[in-house]
A and B are shown apart, each in its own frame.
Chain A
Amino acid sequence: MRIIVALFIISVGIFGAELTQAKIKALAKKGQKIAEIFCKNLPKVDKSGSIEQIQKEIKNSNSCSSLSPRKLKAVAIYLKMGVDGSSKKLYKEVPKGAKCPVCGMFVYKYPKWAAKMVVDKRSYYFDGVKDMMKFYFFDGDFPYDRAKISQILVSDFYTLEPVDAKKAFYVIGSNVYGPMGNELIPFKDEKSAKEFLLDHKGEKIVKFNQITPQMVMALDGIKME
């Protein structure tokens, strides 16, 4: 019984910490702006210290003009965590005339599904992971050499940020359809994929190396030996 309670507390702790990640990110960004506008010569803080400790350090250094407790906390979070450089969304780099080499559709019309593969310095754009995987698996049908692939990117379903396809998690069998019907829905982390799976009645989560040609063709209702 004690073990179950302990596991519950740990899982809640981890889950809770993960959930506030978005808020921490937003506060750090706000803190950076506040620091640029209201502060001069911010102290070098010990990043292993708590937020409260860093807040005290900032206050004692008198480097910021009077800040409200909320603003002070944002600056402390900024100093502790730093700010992630927001990556350019994948769809923003899709050229207007780029067509999916598998289905022939214009990729810019389906921005949230954009995927990209760089082969021998040439960029190919796809209107979904399913078509990208067809291109990847059936290279005999398409004139390219798989050995020359230098980059594969997919768009995270929630944030539309570009994610390395080999590190992404994919949900199959959900009730969300792409421009070409059933899709492999990409996510940057497993937690997002799990939440999506529950929300949208997905069947399972797979990693890039677990995807098979049979799996891809089955999305179109085609059985492969």
Chain B
Amino acid sequence: MKSFFHFFRLFFRSELKKHIDIIALSAMMLSILTAVMVSMASYKEKLFNEIDSKPDFILKNSLSNGSMVPLDWMDKLYEIRGVSDIAPRVFVDFNGFKLLGVDFLEDNPNQNLSKLIKSINLKEFLSKNYLLAKRENLKNSQIKIKNQTFKLYPLSKEQEALIPQNTLIFPIDKLLMLFNLDENFVTDIAFNVLNDDEWTMVEDKVNSLSFSSLAVNKKDMKKAYSQMFNFKGGFFLTLYLIVMAIFALILYNRYSQFQSYDKRVVGILRGVGWSIRDILIFKFLESALVVGISFILGVFGGYLILIFNTKLVGKIFFDDFKVAAIFDGATLFSILLIYSVIFFASVLIPVWKIAITQPKEAMN
């Protein structure tokens, strides 16, 4: 066994130049593939985490695009069993910002907002013209809207992380007054249903509140985004095809090598008494080492690309969606699986074909 590994080490070293070429090519390809796939997985996870923190349901008025929801519907929601944390919301688009009006005195069904509201000094916030936003979204620490100046409420980085990009959060009554909106109407009403076994029933009841009431739940939202990812996945399928094409080339390259040098090596090994099993194990170990080294280098390179260019494929999904790369074991494993299966097949099948022929015939 010791002599086997000694021979393996010497042989691998003598073939190093050939291996380095393949490792370099594979690592480069794997790093691009890793960067793209991990980036997609990171976007998906961040988006789904955001959806999970959203309210279970949003009640909208489906009468026409932009129709406001009468506040009376809120009273009707209280009558449906299982409904909790009902919160009216008002959205206004203003100079590229989304102004969000929420009731700071009600329990908010949005987990992030609820956490944020609980963490601030409400007395101070409501007594002055304050707003909540990410500091990076505002040039100054204040903003003027319709002759009224609103100051940015001081928040820690952890608190700021709970606020969506380009969103300015105001007390709902202030926002309604500012834009002279009817206080009996809101953009939508968000609410939670604690027991998800009751979601379908609640959805039916909410949809029958009025001919134009429409309940949208976050499970449907998740499904819609999943479909979008599947659609965008077509782009990655193309990448997969490119990878397959390159591997087919490697396969061809390696197979043609067996016509000359490698074929003779296998023949000599058979001639000096090696069994077919020993030759296959020997070649398997050789390929495993090449696969292992190129995979590690490829993954490392992929994460380097992601760290130094976080927006590599960001534009494919969302323009303003910065995301940190995650360690996604499933994605990395699938890359390794695709890569290694093709690689092993490209090496072991030709070796096996030669090994089963007579040594003399193989050396010719």
Residues of A within 8 A of B (CB): 19-20, 22-23, 26, 29-30, 33-34, 36-38, 68, 71, 74, 112, 157-160, 176, 192, 195-196, 199-200
Contact = CB atoms under 8 A, between A and B. Distances in A.
Contact of A158 (B79, B107, B126, B198): B198
Nearest to A155: B195
A19 B196 CA distance: 21
Interface in B185-239: 194-198, 201
Contacts of B82: 157-159
A20 B194 CA distance: 19
B173 interface: yes
B194 A159 contact: yes
A195 B198 CA distance: 12
Contacts of A36: 123
Given A26-B106, A37-B126, 5 more contacts: A20-B79, A33-B122, A112-B194, A158-B198, A160-B194
Question: What 4 pairs between A and B have smallest CB-CB spacing?
Answer: A23-B78, A158-B82, A22-B78, A19-B79
Among A112, A158, A159, A176, chain B packs the most CB atoms within 10 A around the CB of A158
Nearest to B78: A23
Contacts of A159: 82, 84, 194
A38 B195 CA distance: 35
A26 to B, nearest CB: 7
Contacts, number: 53
Contacts of B197: 112, 157, 176
A129 to B, nearest CB: 14
B201 A199 contact: yes
Nearest to A86: B107
Interface of B: 75, 78-79, 81-84, 86, 105-107, 122-123, 126, 173, 194-198, 201
B356 to A, nearest CB: 52
A158 B123 contact: no
Given A19-B79, A22-B78, A195-B81, A30 B105 contact: yes
Nearest to A74: B105
A176 B82 CA distance: 15
Contacts of B195: 112, 157-158, 160
B203 to A, nearest CB: 12
Nearest to B104: A33
A111 B79 CA distance: 25
B123 A37 contact: yes
Nearest to A29: B107
Given A19-B79, A22-B78, A26-B78, A33 B198 contact: no
B75 A23 contact: yes
Contacts of A38: 126
B86 A26 contact: yes
Among B83, B196, B197, B201, chain A packs the most CB atoms within 10 A around the CB of B197
B351 to A, nearest CB: 48
A23 B75 CA distance: 7
Nearest to B201: A199
B78 A157 contact: no
Contact of A33 (B81, B83, B86, B105): B105
A100 B132 CA distance: 46
Contacts of A196: 81
B209 to A, nearest CB: 14
B164 to A, nearest CB: 24
A176 B198 CA distance: 9
17 contacts: A19-B79, A20-B75, A20-B79, A22-B78, A22-B83, A23-B75, A33-B105, A36-B123, A37-B123, A74-B105, A112-B195, A157-B195, A158-B81, A158-B82, A158-B198, A159-B82, A159-B194
A173 to B, nearest CB: 16
Contacts of B105: 30, 33-34, 37, 71, 74
Nearest to B71: A70
Nearest to B74: A23
Contacts of B84: 159
Contact of A30 (B78, B79, B106): B106
B81 A192 contact: yes
A68 B103 CA distance: 14
Contacts of B173: 68
Nearest to B122: A37
Nearest to A32: B105
Nearest to A178: B197
A20 B76 CA distance: 9
Contacts of A195: 81
